[in-house]
Every structure is written in structure tokens, then in C-alpha cells.
Amino acid sequence: MLKKICGAVLAALLAVSILPVSGLAVERYEVLQIGDEDAWVMELQEKLCELGYLQPPATGYYGTNTQKAVIAYQRDHGLTADGKAGPITRQSILGDSYQPILGPRDDPANVPSAAPAPSAEPSAPAPTADPGQDPGASEPAAPDASQQPSASTEPVGPAESMVPTAVPSAGPDSEVSPSAEPVPSASTVPAEPSASAEPDEDALKLGDRGDAVSDLQRRLKELEYYDYSQITGYFGPVTEESVKKFERTHSMELDGIMSAEELQFLNSEEVRFYTMFPGDQGDDIYAMQERLIKLGYMESEATGYYGTATTLAVRLFQETNGLVADGTAGKETRALLYSDKAIMKGHGNPEDEEDNPPGEDSVLSSGVAKLLEVAQSQTGKRYVYGASGPNAYDCSGFVYYAMKGAGLSVSRMSSAGYATVSSWETIKKKADLQIGDLVFFKSDSSSSISHVGIYIGGGNIIHAAPSIGGVGVSSMASGYYSRNFVTAKRIF
């Protein structure tokens, strides 16, 4: 009997000794967990959404919602419920599409095959390919300038009950102008909406009092989200609205509750000053629109929604007043806009006005307005090679969908194919671009056209690309899209 036991033990030890090292240990890059952000996370989230464990859209950022979705899946399938997606959990979730992560995920070439690296787009009417990287896309920096004048009043202590006067409700279709559809923000912070299923004991919320609330108000005031004159130590409606502005600026869930995770980010170096982006809506957007109307930069009515007409008005204000014309209302833009130094439209330097890109400060044609309307309504849809909508797109499929929606009779072609349509006027210089032009690009490694987008003004394009996760806005003013610009076509 003793010999049998010893034999069994030796056999077990021998089996363990001959296992590869990878069978005993898992590298950090093989495990997806809180704070990670890459294509592997995106792949996992898309599958969790498909299985019903995570609410779409997939963001590519592993936040608390993703962690809880993984835990729920692990519990349902008898796996260790630690909220981390290692090889075993990933293989269980992804099934036949599972691919092992073979090296560090900060290597640009190490991405799932579902998120292909750059490749040339076929010249036949076939699915297109996009650049795998978008070095030109960047987040707006927080510039230095004085604070915007106070616009709301927050009573002290329990008397804080005054809610700012409501403005007309506005949705994505409500801005009065043929060019009034939303332009998506070109910059996003890797933050995932906080989950409401489990209470956060460290969260600060409506009705709270104390030093923690005072510290919160001071930090929000430093970053210009909180504009009440006093630090009250009471979390009332104005503080709640300030938190919502912070959440909106950083693409977080707009619940007005400062979670522990959000508070940590608020006190980090990555936090932004209060900024209003295209696609935002609220009382502050309404107030900004009224100011732009008063200064002559905006002709349509104020709606509280930051659509294309507002974006163009902000950009024109910035150009006239010598600011960086990115169409977003950050620290410097807000400070000057609400000051007595703001230059009214038509009172700037005539030479500067002559340099404005053609057509950007004029009324858009109905065809161009409809093209933008359709294109921008697809913002956030994911990138899928060969897809042409309505739930996913590649670059030429997205352009095809937008042109069809604008009433053009066109066939589904590749980007290179659209670049050869002889009935459309060819535009050779970036300086001559107008809103609504199709813009064509090559890659760093090839002179062939392999990507197409729609020019929306201010040096920006809206397009579908894997580098931004789907349909969104990128800059062609510098970087990848600037150096790889080939030509453009005027379709209206």
C-alpha cells in the first residue's frame, strides 16, 4: 500500500515538473482588470454585451461596470469570481473567438484579429480598411486663463434648494438650423459609468455635509465647475450640478454623485478644467448660445444642445478672437466669451476674416446639412470591416451610408473607388476644403488611398476607424491624417 501511495505522489510531482512555466503562472499582460484600456478590453466588452452581462456600448476601458459583469459571468459559470479576466475567464467568455495574449499589450501590433492592424483597402467595390493608429487625435488641453464669471447662486447650508431655471429641453435633433446636428467630442477620458447596483459608502451626494463636501467644492471651484462664491460644506443642487458638469466633461455617468472613483480622478493630474464639448447639453450650453447670439456668431435659437451650428459659432468666435479654433469651449474660450474683451462678429481684423476656410461661416446647403445630420447621428457606432450600417461601419461603408441618407444616388465602393468619381469636383489642397467634402488618405507605408472621411470644418473629419473604436471625429490639422492627406471630392 505504501508503495502505491509513494508511486502516486511521485507521478503527480513528475506531472507538475514537466508542465510548461506558462501553465503555472500567468503574466500580467494576460489578465484584463480594472484600469486597463485597449482593444483586448473592447473585444471582451463586446462579447459581454452580446451575452447580456454588460450594457452597451463597449468603451475599451475596464471600469467598475465591466468588473461587475465579469464577476457575474464567473459566478454563473463556476469560475473564480475575482472580477479579473485571465486566460481561463477570457476563453470561457469568448469561446471560439478566443485568442491568447502572447505579449505586452502596449505593443501596437499586439491586438485581437477582430481589430486589424493597418492594411490597404481593395480598389474594387469591396470592404475598406482604415489606418490602425490615429496619432493626430488628441485631447484638448486645459489652457490657462481667468475664471468664467459666476452664473449661479448656491445658498449656504440647509437653505440650498434653489435649482437653476430650466431651459427648453433639447435633444440631438432640436437645434434650430439646417446644420444643427451633433458633432461628437474628439476627446474622451477612459472612464466608464459607475454602477448603481451597489451603493458606494464613500460617495458624496445630495444632502451630505461636512469637511469632505467642503474639500470637494474647493477642488471643483479650482477647476471652474463650482461657481458659487462661498464654500458651504453642504451638498445642494448647485454642488450637484457642478458634479454633473465634471462628469459630463470626462464622459462619466451624469448622476450628480461624486463616487470614490470619480473623486480620485478629480484629484489626479489627468483631470480637465471645465470644458463644454460638441454633443453636450444643459443650462450652461443654453447660456453660452445666448452669448454667442448676442455677439453675432450664432443666428439660430438657443436650445441648450451643443450641435453643429453651435460648434461652428464657437469656432468662428475663437478664430476672430485669436484663440485655438477647435470648436470646444474650454477655459480660455469661456473666459473671453463672457468678458467685455470679446470681439463681436464683423469687428475683428478684416485680414483675419479673409483667411477663414471657405464656407465655414456661411449657411450650409441643404445637401451638406443632411449629410452631416446622417453622419453625426451614427457617432459611437462600432467599427466592423466590410460593414455599411446601420449598426457598424468601415470607412467607406460609413461614407456610403451618409451619402445615401443625404439623397445621393451612389453605389457601395471602396475609398479608392470614391476618389475616382469623375462627376465630383476634385479638391487638391487642404486649405480649399469645405464642410461636406469627402477627404481621402493614404497610409505611412503606402501611396495608395486606403481611407475616407467627411470634412466637418476646423481641420476635423468624421469617419469610421478602428483606431477610435468606430464612428467619431479626428483632427487632420496635424499628425497622421495631416501628413497622409491625398485629395478630396466635393459631392455637393
CATH topology (fold) of 190-271: Muramoyl-pentapeptide Carboxypeptidase; domain 1 (1.10.101)
- Quick one: average pLDDT of 306-317? 90
For residue 447, what pLDDT is reported? 85
> Which comes out higher in pLDDT, residue 489 or 143?
489
CATH superfamily assigned to domain 22-115 = PGBD-like superfamily/PGBD (1.10.101.10)
pLDDT tens for each residue of 377-386 = 999 999 887 7
For residue 198, what pLDDT is reported? 54
Give the gyration radius of the chain's Cα atoms.
26
pLDDT tens for each residue of 127-176 = 333 333 333 333 233 333 333 333 333 433 333 323 233 333 333 222 33
Round to whole Å and give the CA distance between 351 and 34: 52
| Confidence bin at 292 (pLDDT 50/70/90) | very high
* Residue ranges of domains in the chain: 22-115, 190-271, 366-490
pLDDT tens for each residue of 69-110 = 888 888 888 888 888 899 999 999 999 889 999 888 877 777
| Confidence bin at 192 (pLDDT 50/70/90) | very low
Round to whole Å and give the CA distance between 313 and 281: 16
CATH superfamily assigned to domain 366-490 = endopeptidase domain like (from Nostoc punctiforme) (3.90.1720.10)
CA distances for 163 relative to 167, 240, 306, angstroms: 12, 10, 22
φ, ψ for residue 416, nearest 5 deg: -65, -35
For residue 402, what pLDDT is reported? 94
Nine-digit cell string for 38: 485597449
For residue 142, what pLDDT is reported? 32
Name, of 71-75, 362-366, 449-453, the range with top average pLDDT: 449-453
- Quick one: average pLDDT of 362-372? 75
Mean pLDDT check: name the lowest of 192-201, 283-292, 328-337, 386-395.
192-201
For residue 248, what pLDDT is reported? 93
Q: Establish whether domains 22-115 and 366-490 are of one fold.
A: no
- Quick one: average pLDDT of 454-458? 92
